[in-house]
């Protein structure tokens, strides 16, 4: 009797598990989903995506899926159904549909998303106009160009007095210091938490497997994020309640002015996350892109020569060789612009760009259901041999006559559509000034060649990492 009950119970368990696994692998049997697989229960195919590689090629997991299923396929990342697109046309469509059939999606930071929205209203377009008003082209001409030159010159002078510097670290310090000054007049002596260290900790854990339990890198990432948010929230609150608000001349003044309107777009929590997001983008992208650019330049003497020739020609055409860069000179640095564009194309700083479908989306005869995540994967687009000949070769000359600073269906380092990063010009300006000073007033040489001292190896997972750094020696020209 009991043995029959036991057999029946086991049979029920097997049926339940079989049905559950079937539903996992076929999440919407009545909808024709894009091809692909959902991986293991719970974790999906997250482990495969987080595997590392030491080249700039398309990630093996993505490449395998592309070869098997085509440019658009489904998968599952930590219990979240996802469609990954490597197709330029559909990726461009996803960006253009922002606010219509797609929305920004931060799968591992979903709790922060509501800070960008109030009463279900997406404020990104409004915020983008605020950022461009303070950091855009006109402000770059008026003050940012001269301010950045002074700031970059001061920092590189400090680098030159050291036996060697780790470029990613010192460029992050430089970019972070300037960004915190322009954003919120940050004074580290007033706070117990080190804002930059907490930011760095947050970024390191963000590229770890998203397992949020004590002892994991991702758990520390979340703790560091809370520290950063606490400091920023205190600053926003203090400025909002201060009697001398709007007297600092920074971007936080602009935010506070908005918060004091009769119908403000965001509250304290929303303003805090706005500052967090802008600060994160304004220093990490610059330091990583700059480190990658100098790595690529140091490995190609022809690139270094043409870069140097371009900037020395500018010096020769000046009445005073020591005068500051003018806006016309900056716009004339076309090969420098090509180097930056090629660095962004090959380096692929933004490996995954997340969106979520807010309506059912039809593509190539398949349906992406409302609520599913959509991941645009720029490396597959930037390394497409049909568009870029010999795509794994660092070749700034490929941009000659094309203009590498604009977003297109085949070039999307800063996203696209209405979500195109408002700080793209700011990033390019700061990188250009650093390269100008390095090739005209400084050098880092070994046996009369521009080369690194040590390091420079790259690992790619869901981001680019220099495990041994990139150490260089900067020497002032005599």
| Cβ-proximal residues to 277 (8 Å cutoff; 6+ apart), any chain | 116
Is residue 289 within 8 Å of 344, Cβ to Cβ? yes
Of 369, 153, 132, nearest in space to 254 by CA:
132
Kind of pairing between the strands at 121-122 and 366-368: unpaired
User: 190 exposed, middle or buried (CB, 10 Å; 0-12, 13-18, 19+)?
Assistant: exposed
Count of C-beta atoms within a 10 Å radius of residue 183: 23
**Would the CA dihedral through 379, 83, 87, 122 be positive or negative?**
negative
- First-to-final CA distance of the chain: 97
- Would the annotation count 421 as a binding residue? yes
Mention every residue, 6+ apart, whose C-beta is less than 8 A from residue 217: 204, 205, 208, 209
Q: Which residues are annotated as a binding site for heme?
A: 421
Q: Which residues are annotated as a binding site?
A: 421
């Amino acid at each position: 009797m009991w043995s029959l009950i036991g057999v029946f119970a086991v049979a029920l368990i097997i049926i339940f598990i079989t049905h559950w696994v079937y539903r996992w692998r076929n999440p919407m049997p009545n909808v024709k989903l894009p091809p692909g697989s959902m991986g293991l229960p719970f974790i999906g195919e997250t482990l495969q995506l987080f595997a590392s590689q030491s080249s700039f090629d398309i990630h093996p997991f993505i490449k395998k899926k592309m070869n098997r299923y085509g440019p658009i396929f489904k998968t599952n990342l930590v219990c979240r159904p996802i469609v990954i697109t490597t197709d330029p046309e559909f990726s461009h469509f996803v960006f253009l549909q922002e606010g219509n059939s797609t929305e920004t999606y931060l799968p591992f930071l979903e709790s922060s998303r509501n800070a960008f929205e109030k009463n279900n209203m997406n404020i990104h377009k409004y915020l983008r106009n605020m950022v461009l008003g303070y950091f855009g082209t006109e402000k770059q001409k008026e003050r940012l160009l001269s301010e950045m030159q002074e700031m970059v010159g001061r920092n590189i002078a400090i680098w030159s007095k050291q036996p060697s510097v780790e470029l990613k670290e010192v460029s992050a310090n430089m970019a972070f210091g300037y960004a915190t000054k322009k954003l919120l007049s940050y004074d580290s002596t007033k706070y117990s938490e080190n804002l930059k260290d907490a930011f760095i900790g947050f970024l390191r854990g963000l590229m770890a497997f998203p397992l949020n339990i004590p002892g994991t890198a991702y758990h520390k990432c979340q703790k560091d994020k809370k520290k950063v948010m606490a400091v920023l929230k205190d600053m926003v609150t203090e400025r909002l309640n201060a009697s001398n608000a709007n007297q600092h001349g920074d971007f936080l003044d602009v935010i506070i002015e908005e918060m004091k309107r009769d119908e403000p777009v965001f509250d304290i929590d929303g303003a805090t996350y706005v500052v967090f997001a802008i600060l994160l983008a304004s220093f990490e992208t610059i330091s990583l892109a700059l480190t990658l650019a100098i790595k690529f330049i140091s490995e190609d003497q022809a690139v270094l020569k043409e870069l140097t020739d371009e900037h020395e020609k500018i010096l020769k055409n000046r009445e005073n060789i020591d005068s500051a860069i003018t806006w016309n000179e900056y716009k004339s640095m076309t090969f420098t612009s090509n180097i930056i564009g090629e660095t962004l194309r090959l380096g692929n700083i933004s490996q995954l760009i997340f969106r979520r479908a807010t309506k059912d989306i039809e593509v190539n005869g398949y349906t992406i259901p409302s609520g599913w995540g959509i991941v645009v994967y720029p490396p597959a687009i930037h390394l497409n041999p049909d568009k870029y000949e010999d795509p794994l070769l660092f070749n700034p000359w490929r941009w000659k006559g094309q203009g590498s600073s604009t977003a297109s269906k085949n070039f999307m380092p800063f996203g696209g559509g209405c979500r195109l990063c408002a700080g793209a010009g700011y990033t390019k300006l700061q990188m250009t000034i650093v390269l100008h000073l390095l090739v005209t007033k400084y050098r880092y040489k070994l046996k009369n060649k521009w080369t690194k001292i040590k390091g420079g190896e790259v690992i790619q997972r869901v981001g680019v990492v220099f495990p041994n750094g990139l150490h260089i020696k900067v020497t002032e020209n005599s």
